[in-house]
Amino acid sequence: MPSPLLKRMKTLCSLPGPPGHEGAVRDAIVDMVKGSASELRRDDIGNLIARHEANEAAPHVVLECHMDEVGLVVTGVEAGGAIRFEKVGLVADAIFPGREVSLLTLDGNLHRGVVNVRSGHLQSLQGQEHPGVDEMWIDLGASDDAPIRALGIEAGTPGVFHSPFIQLPGGAWKSKAVDNRSGCALCVEAFINTANSLSDRLRLSAAFCAQEEIGGRGASVLSVDEGESDPPSLAIVLDNVPSDGPGRSDARGSKIGAGPVLRRYDHQPMSLYGYITPPELIQWVKDVASDTHVPLQEDVFVGTFLDSATLSKSRPGGLPTVPINMPRRYSHSPVETFMESDLEAMAALIGALLRSAAEGGAPDLRRDYLSPSDA
């Protein structure tokens, strides 16, 4: 029997949410949290912020995740019916040939297509092909562009992979958009639980951000305290981390089934985005995980970034941020594969961290050297 958490994740994974077009995911999250929220608003960039009634004097924590997923964008429709596209987010070209994709038009409808792949017969005769996306197209089964244009598909139309959420015989689950509907489902669960049990001791802002996959754009402008005087003192970012598969160890050592992964350092040299987690926050998470017997992995990842890169500098003076990731195999593909035990361990760790923050256990990084607070 799937848990309510896994069921919510399945619902969210099935929805399309390419960067800048997160509306379907946002609407589903609104439905999930509105019964527990006293404030629920969308900002101009598309972030969704949920807050609940809370004691004004309680610590204010932001729990953040991104709603968007990697995918593609249409660059043009040719007269013969070939739909040309570019990748959106860090996706390998090799993922695309022979895949099913869904194009999302402005009316909210999804249109299934397939990406071309050269005939296996010809590849055996003429050599294997490793095409770039500039040699690919999406085929909607049409022989000219008229029916495609009639659907509203044009340059700028976004698309996502099509890949159902199913359990594999070995126990793990696979879907598209595990990154980051797992984070969304966890954020929803933590928000509902906090509203029910911790609201007299903790102010929680649950933030579901837009456009992470193209550079943490939503998180870079996140405002959780408009017109109020209770700035957050801590943010916890929930996302995913590449994990090794059974056939090859090509991630950074993280394993599925071995628990949440605390990100200590990341940096993507191309974009210069990255984040160095403060040692005090690393120690706090390790202590809480140990006290609550949640298994914890740690990683350093050069070549990527998370919303922590931008959320941490979204406030004057900075916002202390700690990223916690769920491991999954085959990242940024239609077959992202994860263990339910890791999802549950993430939920247990988040719950324990929020209880610790409510009890004043989270480290405060600010100092006034002339007026020490313990003087």
The smaller minimum CB distance to Zn ion, of residues 64 and 239, is found at 239
Cβ atoms of 234 and 59 closer than 8 Å? yes
Tell whether omega for the bond before 180 is within 30 degrees of 0, i.e. cis: yes
Site track for Zn ion across 66-105, x = CB under 5 A: ----------------------------------------
The smaller minimum CB distance to Zn ion, of residues 179 and 336, is found at 179
| Smallest distance, Zn ion to C-beta of residue 128, A | 31
The smaller minimum CB distance to Zn ion, of residues 81 and 158, is found at 158
Rounded Cα distance, 335 and 91, in Å = 12
The smaller minimum CB distance to Zn ion, of residues 350 and 358, is found at 350
The pair of three-digit structure tokens given for residue 94, joined into one six-digit string: 């090799």
| Smallest distance, Zn ion to C-beta of residue 63, A | 15
Site stretch for Zn ion (CB under 5 A), options 99-107, 195-203, 238-246, 270-278: 238-246
Q: Does 239 bind Zn ion (CB under 5 A)?
A: yes
Q: For Zn ion, how many residues bind (rule: CB under 5 A)? A: 3
| Smallest distance, Zn ion to C-beta of residue 89, A | 9
Site track for Zn ion across 128-167, x = CB under 5 A: ----------------------------------------
Site for Zn ion in 171-230 (CB under 5 A): 179-180
Phi–psi pair at 90, nearest 5 degrees = -85, 90
Q: Which helix or strand (DSSP H or E) is residue 357 part of?
A: helix 340-358
The smaller minimum CB distance to Zn ion, of residues 180 and 333, is found at 180
Site stretch for Zn ion (CB under 5 A), options 75-83, 119-127, 145-153, 233-241: 233-241
Neighbouring residues of 361: CB distance < 8 A, sequence distance ≥ 6: 284, 288
* H, E, C per residue of 165-192: CEECCCCCEEECCHHHHHHHHHHHHHHH
Report in angstroms the alpha-carbon separations of 198 from 173, 300, 358: 32, 32, 7
The smaller minimum CB distance to Zn ion, of residues 22 and 179, is found at 179
Cβ atoms of 327 and 240 closer than 8 Å? yes
Report in angstroms the alpha-carbon separations of 321 from 8, 64, 232: 26, 10, 10
Residues that bind Zn ion (CB under 5 A): 179-180, 239
